[in-house]
Amino acid sequence: MPLKAYDLTGRTALVTGAASGIGRAGALLIAEAGATVHCADRDEDGLRETTALITKAGGAAHAHPLDVTDRAQLAEAVSRAGRLDILAAVAGIMHSSTVLETLDEDLDRVLAVNFKGVLYACQEAARAMIATKTAGSIITMASGAVDSASVGLLCYSAAKAAVIQLTKTLATELGPHGIRVNAVAPGWIRTPMTERHNAELQHRIESMMVRASPLGRVGAPEDVAHAILHLASDASGFTTGQILRPNGGVVMPW
């Protein structure tokens, strides 16, 4: 049983990107805290695995196969969820190319998923919360990539920087409705998305992150899931427009 401030019993959450990695870990933890979780992702097999894990643990979950770049599909998922208390907009993709090598289609694809997909989810969730007068919590997924420059991550970093600005603007606009909006900006987390690198590159990146972190390790999806749970719960009731950075201390901005 979670501490009272983290008890989400009776609440309903929508988690995008729930088929794997951070999204799955977040959905599992929110369900463990008592919420009914609507899991959304375009990976139908992974989505079924996530919902099965939740129900096996005694939680309540529903699967919504969808593409976050399709506003209508997100609107339908929110409508099917009914009263919505929590949105965790986690779905995202990675792309690597130098500035001079970046193509229009690269930028368009990353912005479509990592920014527009978050925007659409936030818009639909906010409209639902306002309509039901729900003092809900919206959590967006930014990245530690916005805190420093990295070769090859222009598209990804630009989209995540846009998410941070979206978060702050939404927090300002939705505050009068009692709706909180915050971002999670993880450091390097070992997920299926980051593990798509070749083994040598993966080892080099992780070794560098281990050396840079005062904690001496790379992150796991569960590290980020706890940040999501905190922002979803009443424990963060006076927190909005903020960026929570589970990054192992690799970057310590003011």
Tens of pLDDT along the chain (254 residues)?
567 999 999 999 999 999 999 999 999 999 999 999 999 999 999 999 999 999 999 999 999 999 999 999 999 999 999 999 999 999 999 888 999 999 999 999 999 999 999 999 999 999 999 999 999 999 999 999 899 888 888 999 999 999 999 999 999 999 999 999 999 999 988 887 776 655 666 777 788 889 999 999 999 999 999 999 999 999 999 999 999 999 999 999 98
Distance between the two ends of the chain, CA-based, in angstroms? 35
Rounded to whole angstroms, the Cα distance separating 216 from 235 reads: 28
CB atoms within 10 A of CB 112: 17
Handedness of CA 38, 44, 50, 53 (dihedral sign): positive
The size of the chain, in residues, is 254
Amino acid at 44: E
CA atoms of 25 and 189, how far apart (whole Å): 12
For 88, list phi and psi in degrees, rounded to 5.
-120, 105
Domains annotated on the chain, with CATH: 4-189+220-244 (3.40.50.720)
| Cα of 45 vs its chain's centroid, Å | 20
Contact in structure between 167 and 115 (CB atoms under 8 Å): no
- Predicted TM-score (pTM) of the model is 0.94
For 117-172, the pLDDT digits (tens) are: 999 999 999 999 999 999 999 999 999 989 988 888 899 999 999 999 999 999 99
Q: Which of 115, 120, 156, 188 is catalytic?
A: 156
Is 120 noted as a catalytic residue in this protein? no
Helix extents (H) in the chain = 21-32, 44-56, 71-81, 104-111, 117-131, 154-174, 199-212, 221-232
